[in-house]
Chains A and B, each alone.
Chain A
Amino acid sequence: MRGLGAVVAKDLRLLLRDRAGLLFLGLAPIVVITVAGLSLSTLYGADPTGQTAYTLPVVDEDGSEESREITAKLAGERELQIQLMADRAAAQSEVRDHKRSGTALVIPAGTGEALREGRSAELLLYTDPVKYLERMHVQLALAHVRDSLVGEWGERARGDAKARIASMRTELEGVRASLGSAQSTLDEAWQEAQRRRADASDRIEREAERARDSLRVRAASELGAARERAAASVSRQLDALREPIARWLAALGETREAFGSWLRELERLAGSRADRIPPPPVFPEPPPELARFASDGLSLELPPPPAAPEFASFPKIELPPLSPPPALDLPALALPDLPPPPGALRLVEQGISGARTTVNSFDQNVPGFSVTFLLLGMLLGVSLGLLDEHDWGTFDRLRSLPIGLACVLTGKLLSRFCVGVVQMIALFAVGRFAFAISLGPQPLALLLPIAGIAFAGAAFGLLVAAVAPSRDSVLPVGSAVAIAMAAIGGCWWPIDLEPRWMRQLSLGLPTRWAMEAFNDLMMRQRTVSAVWQPTLVMLAFGLAFLGVGVALFRRRLSTPVEGG
């Protein structure tokens, strides 16, 4: 460990004395990151500062509230910088002649009216096909604005309708309150009518009683008179009957005398058998009253005059009942909700990891170019460093000491690994403060892929040192490989821009896994669990590079030495 520490300290000291090397490790990547980041800042959309927004000429031929809303909304898009143009010709000139914009927008007259009337309206885009990326970004921004406005307008219309319904409901409530008041008045009137009806009924009852008494008096009088008339009539009729009756009574007495004579003759004729004649019927004696009537007549004794007839009570006159007052109540009017307006089909984009869907292009460029310069730094530090030691003869001297080759190589790799980690951390810090890159939800998790790529890069440097036939070939060979690894691995541009076969190829490079890890943490906002696998893959790459590199380097050391 004593020797290892000495080697590490020595290599770090050598690096500190190497101003060109320090500039290459520190300043050069910052310059390249800045230039590349700003140049490619629109790759993922506008940069956070908005300084690279696309200029969008806008011609508002409509001048309506809606068109002004569209323009204002577009002005709020950070990808766009609105430039109002006088007419279409000016807008076309901006795109075609001056080439200052890839797209221009015209809001034709009648747009607002069509929208208000629920008709479709069209916006016109003048586009430059060469500026493909700008065109796509502008169209996306326009689509975003369109969706947003359609949503707002729909919401606004629904809000208006709801307000109207609410107003109607309020008015109905007023009507309902008025009806309630009327109902109270009506109820009171009904109560009064009831009371008056009862009074009327009582009065009718009294009048009926009085009429009944009057009738009884009149009936008694009438009856008396009728009694007298009836008595007189009867007397007359009886007087008319007394004569006939008297004759009949006289006839009857004579008949009875005749019969007694006939009977006794008969009995005498019957002789002995007279006893066998049944007793003859006995003539009834005429009632004395009749005889007296026939002789004297009859004085009619009139019964006392009848009492005045009692009239049965008059049937009670029932006043027709008062029908209850009508219930003045509005039926519960359920005002129907507005039918939903025709739905707008909106595209809701949601990052699978919950991260924002727009990213800072420096989130790609800072780790990408940091990895690139890490690899190039490893070429200088490890590859050229080992060859420098070889050329300086210090390698032979170190190998002649008990420190051992493994210790020398380990120290060299360890020092450069530490430098690489510090370099990456420093570049990420610069990226954070200068370009507002995201460090993800767990910034410390970045240390894993940083350590992984630093280890793989250091081992890669050893491999190059072992393979390169000479010092002069390290940079041409090593830098070509390192740059190819960086480019194919997605360090310079999003990996998805590469064709499928190249993406497959990139799986065989540690740079791809490093960028996967950095993208997961910084862009996809994932946690440390997402970077264990790529880190392990990078460590595996490093171990493979290390194994092959050490073997080849040992072999290289066994080559003949020119000299005595």
Chain B
Amino acid sequence: MAEPQIRVHHLSVRYGARQALRHVSFAAAAGEIVGLLGPNGAGKTSALSVLAGLIRPVEGTVALCGLDVVASRAEAQRVTGFVPQRLALYPSLSARENLLFFGRAAGLRRASARVAAERALALAGLEERRDEAVAAFSGGMRRRLNLVCALLHEPRVLLLDEATVGVDPQSRERIFGAVREQAASGVTVLWSTHQIEEAERLCDRVVLLDHGRVVADGVPSALVRLAGTPPHVDLVTREPLPVGWERGVPGVGPCEPVPEEEAAAAGGALVRVRLDEVAGAARVVERATSLGHEVLALELHRPDLQDAFIALTGRELRD
């Protein structure tokens, strides 16, 4: 592995008596999208704050592109783009004015800032509304603008803190596209999120955080495997299926008990069937209908990072 663009070693952050991060270490290579996944309070924002130079760690080192963020904060910040969780925009300024200002604040000359702003507007899909006040923008547009504000000075490291909170699917896709584009150009992306799907879809690697500690670090599929749980399907029929109805169906395991609360809320007869493979879900439906039962609902449950997290920490990611 080449010299990592992000190198966090033994990082500890403390707010008074509260330990926000405890000996956290991870790294990210150039062009890599690394997800920082964990529930609220896990320490994601604290980690990003240290990387962005907003707070000082009480212990450990953080280097971006080989620059220590404590000793060489300004130099490190010049190669870093930070997208805070909150929309860091001036509502009464237009999109272009926001971009120009942040470009200038990032150290760009006036002409360079103008060029960068135009490029950012195009990347965010906001060329048509460049001169409108940000206050008039939708949440998704603001999020896109919030992202591209961090790209103006062409950072080599991009830090994003919950960058898609409250956005519509279209805007999310745009953001994903922009982030992938950045990564493709060699930018190292650290994506902090508590959205499992985002981490799975976007990230090359995921660092699982809980209570300020790194509980796992690896590619998503490897982490899912750590969960040790097969996929299953929840099938709801109008009438209960007969006992043993699933036997002989290829790739389908035995039924599992369903908690009473779930069964009562299902709106029909609910059965939970373990699958050896995801493709077995279709065969489960075929068997039920062949037995003359009307299928009201089908829900496929694949093991994911949530399961991995539960397996590793004993609690859900969204707790």
A residues near B, CB below 8 A?
2-3, 5-7, 9-10, 13-14, 17-18, 391-394, 396-404, 557-564
Contact = CB atoms under 8 A, between A and B. Distances in A.
Contact of B42 (A7, A401, A564): A564
A460 to B, nearest CB: 24
A14 B101 CA distance: 12
A391 B85 CA distance: 12
B254 interface: no
B198 to A, nearest CB: 13
Interface in B44-62: 44-46, 49, 52-55
Nearest to A561: B45
Given A402-B77, A560-B20, A563-B161, 7 more contacts: A2-B104, A10-B93, A393-B84, A402-B78, A402-B107, A564-B43, A564-B162
B97 A564 contact: no
A557 B56 CA distance: 11
8 contacts: A3-B105, A6-B101, A10-B90, A391-B86, A393-B85, A560-B46, A563-B40, A564-B43
Interface string B175-202: 0000000000000000010100000000
Q: Which 4 A-B pairs have the closest CB atoms?
A: A564-B44, A393-B86, A563-B45, A6-B104
A7 B20 CA distance: 32
Contacts of A396: 49, 52, 54, 82, 84, 86, 88
A14 B93 contact: yes
Given A14-B92, A561-B45, A564-B43, A7 B105 contact: yes
Contact of B105 (A14, A18, A401, A564): A401
Among A2, A404, A561, which residue has the most Cβ atoms of chain B within 10 A?
Answer: A561
B107 A404 contact: no
Interface string B285-306: 0000000000000000000000
Contacts of A391: 86
A564 B106 CA distance: 26
B91 interface: yes
A319 B74 CA distance: 139
Contact of B87 (A2, A3, A18, A393): A393
Nearest to B37: A564
Interface in B203-222: 209
Interface string B62-86: 0000000000001101101010111
A5 to B, nearest CB: 8
Among A17, A392, A559, A563, which residue has the most Cβ atoms of chain B within 10 A?
Answer: A563
B90 A392 contact: yes
A207 B105 CA distance: 146
Nearest to A18: B92
B101 to A, nearest CB: 5
A403 B52 CA distance: 13
A401 B41 contact: no
A398 B98 CA distance: 12
B140 interface: no
A14 B90 CA distance: 8
Contact of A558 (B36, B55, B90): B55
B84 A564 contact: no
Contact of B102 (A397, A404, A564): A397
A564 B41 contact: yes
Nearest to B134: A392
B59 to A, nearest CB: 16
B53 A563 contact: no
Nearest to B92: A17
Contacts of A14: 90, 92-93
B194 to A, nearest CB: 6
Contact of B45 (A398, A402, A559, A564): A564
A397 B149 contact: yes
Nearest to A408: B105
Nearest to A15: B92
Interface in B92-114: 92-93, 97, 101-102, 104-107, 109
B105 A403 contact: yes
Interface string B240-277: 00000000000000000000000000000000000000
Among B16, B55, B90, which residue has the most Cβ atoms of chain A within 10 A?
Answer: B90
A401 B54 contact: no
B38 interface: yes
Interface of B: 15-16, 18, 20, 36, 38-46, 49, 52-55, 74-75, 77-78, 80, 82, 84-93, 97, 101-102, 104-107, 109, 133, 149-150, 159, 161-162, 192, 194, 209
B93 A17 contact: yes
Contacts of B87: 392-393
Interface of A is mostly: helix
A392 B89 contact: yes
A17 B44 CA distance: 35
A128 B34 CA distance: 85
Contacts of A18: 92
A497 to B, nearest CB: 42
A561 B105 contact: no
Contacts of B209: 564
Contacts of A557: 54
Contacts of A394: 88-90
Contacts of A564: 36, 38-45, 85, 161-162, 192, 194, 209
Nearest to A19: B92
Nearest to A10: B101
Contacts of B40: 563-564
B15 A560 contact: yes
A400 B80 contact: yes
Contacts of B16: 560
A557 B55 CA distance: 8
Among A18, A399, A559, which residue has the most Cβ atoms of chain B within 10 A?
Answer: A399
A398 B93 contact: no
A396 B53 CA distance: 10
A399 B53 contact: yes
B256 to A, nearest CB: 33
Contacts of A13: 93, 97
Contacts of B18: 560
A17 B77 contact: no
Nearest to B113: A6
A397 B43 contact: no
Contacts of B97: 10, 13
A122 B200 CA distance: 104
A230 to B, nearest CB: 171
A398 B84 CA distance: 10
A510 B75 CA distance: 40
A9 B93 CA distance: 12
Contacts of B36: 564
Contacts of B44: 563-564
Nearest to B106: A401
Contacts of A558: 55
B84 A397 contact: yes
Nearest to A558: B55
A400 B86 contact: no
Contacts of B161: 563-564
A277 B86 CA distance: 209
Contact of A401 (B20, B49, B102): B102
A2 B92 CA distance: 22
Nearest to A16: B92
A3 B105 CA distance: 5
Contacts of B41: 564
Nearest to A559: B15
A561 B52 CA distance: 14
Nearest to A399: B54
A393 B98 CA distance: 13
Contacts of A392: 86-91
B101 A402 contact: no
A25 to B, nearest CB: 16
